Structure 1
Amino acid sequence: MIRRPALFTPAVLLALALLLAGCGSAGGRAAPETGGQPRRIVSMNPCVDAVLMEIADPAQIAAISHYSQDPRATSIPLERALRYRAVSGSAEDVIGAAPDLVIAGPHVSIQTIAALKRLGIPLMQLTVPESVAENQVQISQIAARIGRGPQGVALNSRIDAAMAASRWRAAPIDALIWQGSGLVPGKGTLADELMTHTGFRNMSGPMNLSKWDILPLEGLLDHPPAVLLAGRADMGAGSGDGNRMLTHPALVKAGKQITVADYPSNLLHCGGPVIVRSVERLAAVRRAWRASR
Structure 2
Amino acid sequence: MSAPVFSIALTLAACASPPPDFRGGGGGIVSVNPCADAMLVRLVPASRIAAISHYSHDPVATSLPIAVARRFRATAGTAEEVIALAPDLVVASSFTAPATRDAFARAGVKTLYLDAPATIAASEAQVRQLAAAVDASAAGERMVTAIERSLPPVPTGRRPAALLFIAGDLATGVGTLLDEMMTRAGFANAATAYGLQFTGRLPAEQLVARPPEVVIAPAGGRGVDLRRRLLPHTVEANFPRQLVNCGGPSIVPAMRRLMAIRAKLA
SS in 1 for 2:125: helix
What letter is aligned with 2:125? V
**1:199 matched residue in structure 2:** 186
**1:254 matched residue in structure 2:** 231
Q: How many residues align?
A: 245
**2:4 matched residue in structure 1:** none
Residues 126-180 of structure 1, C-alpha deviation per residue, up to 9 Å, x if partnerless? 111110101111111111111111000000000000013x753332111001232
Find the aligned partners of 1:54 and 1:283 in 2 and give their Cα distance. Answer: 24
Find the aligned partners of 1:208 and 1:72 in 2 and give their Cα distance. Answer: 28
SS in 2 for 1:204: helix
Name which of structure 1's ranges 168-177 and 187-196 shifts more when overlaid on structure 2. Answer: 168-177
Aligned partner of 1:222 among 197, 200, 209: 209
Aligned partner of 2:259 among 267, 278, 283: 283
* Counterpart check, 1:46 vs 2:22: no
Residues 97-126 of structure 1, C-alpha deviation per residue, up to 9 Å, x if partnerless? 221100111222221111011010101111
Shift of 1:210: 2.4
Q: Residues 41 and 61 of structure 1 are in contact (CA less than 8 Å); yes or no, is this contact kept in structure 2?
A: yes
Q: Residues 89 and 109 of structure 1 are in contact (CA less than 8 Å); yes or no, is this contact kept in structure 2?
A: no
SS in 2 for 1:209: coil
Moved over 3 A (4+): none
Find the aligned partners of 1:283 and 1:127 in 2 and give their Cα distance. Answer: 27
Q: Residues 231 and 263 of structure 1 are in contact (CA less than 8 Å); yes or no, is this contact kept in structure 2?
A: yes
Find the aligned partners of 1:183 and 1:84 in 2 and give their Cα distance. Answer: 30
Aligned partner of 2:131 among 140, 143, 168: 143
What letter is aligned with 2:265? W
* Counterpart check, 1:263 vs 2:239: yes
Q: What 5-or-longer segments of structure 1 have no aligned partner?
A: 1-22, 30-38, 234-241
What letter is aligned with 1:200? F
* Counterpart check, 1:180 vs 2:167: yes
Q: Residues 89 and 112 of structure 1 are in contact (CA less than 8 Å); yes or no, is this contact kept in structure 2?
A: no
Aligned partner of 1:273 among 249, 253, 257: 249
TM-score (norm 2): 0.87
SS in 2 for 1:179: strand
Shift of 1:211: 1.6
SS in 2 for 1:277: helix
Find the aligned partners of 2:60 and 2:124 in 1 and give their Cα distance. Answer: 26
Aligned partner of 2:105 among 114, 117, 127: 117
Shift of 1:251: 2.5
What letter is aligned with 1:103? V
What letter is aligned with 1:190? L
SS in 2 for 1:62: strand
Q: Residues 68 and 74 of structure 1 are in contact (CA less than 8 Å); yes or no, is this contact kept in structure 2?
A: yes
Find the aligned partners of 1:107 and 1:253 in 2 and give their Cα distance. Answer: 37
TM-score (norm 1): 0.79
**Counterparts in 2 of 1:49-60, with a 5 A limit?**
49-60=37-48
Shift of 1:253: 5.5
Q: Residues 68 and 78 of structure 1 are in contact (CA less than 8 Å); yes or no, is this contact kept in structure 2?
A: yes
What letter is aligned with 2:106? R
**1:209 matched residue in structure 2:** 196
Q: What percentage of residue pairs aligned between the two structures are identical?
A: 36
Distance of aligned partners of 1:266 and 1:167 in 2 relative to their CA distance in 1, 3 Å threshold: farther
Residues 40-97 of structure 1, C-alpha deviation per residue, up to 9 Å, x if partnerless? 1111111111111111121111110100000111110111101111011211221232
Q: Residues 83 and 107 of structure 2 are in contact (CA less than 8 Å); yes or no, is this contact kept in structure 1?
A: no
Find the aligned partners of 1:254 and 1:192 in 2 and give their Cα distance. Answer: 22
Find the aligned partners of 2:111 and 2:150 in 1 and give their Cα distance. Answer: 31
